[in-house]
Amino acid sequence: QAKRSGRGTVAFYEPDGGDDARARLLVTSRLRRAISEGQLLLQYQPIFAVETGALVSAEALVRWQDPEQGLVPPGLFIPVAEDTGLIDAIGQWVVEELCAQAARWRDEGFVPGLGFNLSPRQLRRPDLVASIAAAIDAHGLPREQFTAELTESAVLSDEHRHTSLLEELREAGLKVAIDDFGAGHSSLGRLRALAVDTLKVDRSFLAGVPEDRSAGSIVAAMLSLANALGMNAVVEGVETEPQLEFLREHGCPLAQGFLLGRPVPADRLPRA
């Protein structure tokens, strides 16, 4: 349903809220225009080494600067883009913009790791890896600077197709992260078979820390799991000092969250 209830609070398309075909069509055409008229932008959220506090990488997060609605978060338009196939054009734009920014940063002597998100429908595109690699190469960037973030459910939903996709990404020289780990329902056994570099622990687990001891135990267990499998780990959603302290005590290598840094435009990303 298309609703106008004011800046930032608008849900003009609700993926689960019935099928208002007209509202969907409206968003689709506006989103198509958003792509062609340059209304998409990327913000970057820093990821820090817990022990040293050094900036290690940044995650690119897409936003839609809509003339009417203001800054629209991806949760409100990625689902419709997925449904309509526009996600391929958006994904292409994201990777190209990210590479252009990475090249500007490189020219300034700043070379952070850079993560970007891939949603399930994008994984179906047969030339996905080739198109990402081409964008990186066009800017003369090292492919290993880039990490593709795929959610657990996307990766594990179709084991055969996506296992080979992960391998394809890694063979092309990129890194791969499982995003929102723990939020889906994968078996740990399957995880072992996956070729991934990094686990990103879903922020829902850290949310209960430190009050909820079982939440803490789960975060600690996921950190040991990553360690045992030789994977890097990022815990998402660090919002408080006690949470950061908890991660320090449990040897968490990397952390991301509002306490450490919110998503910001490229020129406001901290350099160290």
- Summarize as ranges the residues that interact with ligand C2E (CB under 6 A): 45, 61-62, 73-75, 78, 94, 116-119, 149, 179-180, 203, 236-239, 256-258, 263
* Residue with the CB atom nearest Mg ion in the bound state: 149
In angstroms, give the least distance from the CB of 65 to ligand C2E: 14
Question: Distance between CA 184 and CA 156 in Å, rounded?
Answer: 9
Q: Other C-beta atoms within 10 Å of 208: how many?
A: 15
Question: Which of 154, 221, 213, 140 lies closest to 184, judged by CA?
Answer: 154
Q: List the single partner that 119 binds among ligand C2E, Mg ion, none, CB under 5 to 8 Å by kind.
A: ligand C2E
Instruction: Considering the complex, state which of residue 48 and residue 105 has its C-beta at the smaller distance from ligand C2E.
Output: 48
Q: Which residues bind Mg ion (CB under 5 A)?
A: 117, 149, 179-180
Question: Distance between CA 27 and CA 83 in Å, rounded?
Answer: 12
- Enumerate residues 6+ apart whose C-beta is below 8 A from 260: 46, 48, 238, 244
- Enumerate residues 6+ apart whose C-beta is below 8 A from 171: none
Instruction: Say if CB 139 and CB 103 are below 8 A apart.
Output: yes
**Residue type present at position 155:** V
Q: List the single partner that 74 binds among ligand C2E, Mg ion, none, CB under 5 to 8 Å by kind.
A: ligand C2E
In angstroms, give the least distance from the CB of 255 to ligand C2E: 10
Instruction: Considering the complex, state which of residue 193 and residue 241 has its C-beta at the smaller distance from ligand C2E.
Output: 241
175: its two tokens: 């890194």
In angstroms, give the least distance from the CB of 59 to Mg ion: 5
Instruction: Considering the complex, state which of residue 183 and residue 229 has its C-beta at the smaller distance from Mg ion.
Output: 183
Instruction: Considering the complex, state which of residue 107 and residue 270 has its C-beta at the smaller distance from ligand C2E.
Output: 270
